[in-house]
Structure 1
Amino acid sequence: MDFTFTEDQLAFKEAISRFLMTEAPPEMLRDIWETEEGRSPELHRSIAAQGLTALSVPEAQGGLGMDDIAWSLLTQELGYYAIPDSMVDTAYVAAGLLTALPDSVVQRNDMLEQVAAGEMRIAVAHSINPLAADVHLADQVIVEHQGEVHFLSRDEIEQVNNISIDSSRRLSKISFSASDSSRALDAQAGQAVWGETLNRGALAVAGQSLGLAQRMLDLSVDYAVQRKQFGKPIGSFQAVKHKMADVVSGIEFAKPALYRAAYALVHGDPRADLHVSHAKLACTEAALVAARHGIQVHGAMGYTWEADLQMFMKRAWALNASWGTREFHRQRIANDIFADGAAVGPRYTFGE
């Protein structure tokens, strides 16, 4: 079995990286953080023009029909450049949710077509997240209510804004009145859809966290090479080398967990919950370690507005509890591996 990425997949990742490098330099990110909405319409239009909003949409609705493995590569790049846009929630999480709905849901196809064209922003309000992101800009809000799927406009909900340490994320606590007119799917059918949505949301956070960890490592290494003490670059000191080595180890151990989780989602693995939770924990831990050691390498200046590190560090902190806390994902893993007759061991990794 060949576990390497194809040339097309690697070329896709490289093309996305070049595009985002040009479109979202750190100076631009600072400007976006200070706006009232925390988002850039120009950046969103550029993303849509590149076809990125159409990646998960089925071909029948004008999309590219790409899978979770492609997104495991893309979300790393979105994290590496700390892209301040609702693209992941709309083009990946919401698009996957809409695709899973039956054709009988009247709004399904129209919404997918608008997502593919970059003409619709969707906020997803899952019960796992006490606060929903980007509701203030959403054309449509998809809400979980006791397992049901509800479609609501912003006018149909009440929202209370909540300040985030990541100034590019606008969070809201929402409330609404459930009705037959807003219900797209009942609880019995909706439970499976919301389960997949939770896994995609957690996988998206894992990918972004891994990208953030790599960016914070790169920033810290660059600083350690330039900053001198006692006439030598601080990167030559063994204590600094050990901290950077810890970050590298965390990233390298998290990568296969992320890709295994994406593989599980693509192939409908019945143990997908286990693999997604493993990826979420491994990737967010790598980002937290990269942030902590990055601050120690930079010193107190790493917290300041002028330092690029602070933007990536704050994004990592903000995403840590999104789509499930560490306790939630640890419990999902425990439920699997401590169950009677648990399929634990190397031979179960990819099946018999």
Structure 2
Amino acid sequence: MLKRKTLLLIDTNNFVTQEEVAVLAHSLAGAGSKTVNLAQLLNICTVNALGRVMVGKKLFADGSGSGDAKADEFKEMVVEMMVLAGVFNIGDFIPALEWLDLQGVAAKMKKLHKRFDAFLTAIVEDHKKSSGGKHVDMLTTLLSLKEDADGEGAQLTDTEIKALLLNMFTAGTDTSSSTVEWAIAELLRHPKILAQVQQELDQVAGRDRLVTELDLPNLTYLQAVIKETFRLHPSTPLSLPRMASENCEINGFHIPKGATLLVNVWAISRDPEQWKDPLEFRPERFLPGGEKPHVDVRGNDFEVIPFGAGRRICAGMSLGLRMVHLMAATLVHAFDWTLADGLTPEKLNMDEAYGLTLQRAAPLMVHPRTRLAPHAYKASSS
């Protein structure tokens, strides 16, 4: 019952995503000639959209490219957690040495846990004092189910509520914003593809308004661009660890009970046996007449599985896909882009940072120029 109510609530708050993306467009339009850190603004947008769905309010100031200390700290915490979760830890492979914590991973995790706990405790306590039943959000739902979480009398503690919030915030913010950042970077490096996406957007939405979620089903080429971004830059390059519950054999490989298993999503989507010129950014491969026209990213086609597959597929996939498509469509439709400091697209750093999620090694620093009617960038009243 808890999971069903939570996912239903997330999926029915479509308007929140659209409003926060409009705020992002307004912030970028007001940047003028300043250089903006696109990674930071995308992160603020996703955190605020998720915050409104989950706790009934924005968590950060909207920003205008000049920096938001609170947002920077939260992103730093999320990135640090993903780095620590993905690090090669000697204790995982030699259990006898685990207690020594030779690399300090456990100590860093405990310190980071305290920071996250303080952050989430403040949110929960503030919500208890101020909500008064006015908000229809995930936290209100969780608090209302504390005494009967499953319909059979099971109780839900504050610690468990904070754990659920942590999972949603960490899994749903940096993954979405980094995917859009990779998409914009690839489009800057491929101006012909960028021009084709903008042409499609102009035909569907015109230049008198921002893109809406209702436009997305008609943006065939944009959808192919997003699929290709997920293929080349999966937000979680190694799937979250799984543990074998029983001894089994798969394709001739013996897997003992208790073995930790990880799926190399990054390698699968670059496999030359599955993809022609796998290192090339080529959205046409997903269009009619291309090599994989019917392949999707929702877990049914194992050639590209950025959200995983099966029973443990990402619970926030629907929200994540909407967020990524709408943010990318809006940025491409509403702005022309140049790189900061006179950098040419050919020299753009496309290196990947190490961690559980696929971050860019260097954030995308850009100059946006508006290309729509001025009234299209009017800030939302939300």
**By percentage of residues, which structure has more strand?**
1
**Structure with greater helix percent:** 1
Report if TM-score (shorter chain) is over 0.5: no
Quick one: higher RCO (CA 8 Å, sep 6+), 1 or 2? 2
Q: TM-score, normalised by structure 1?
A: 0.31
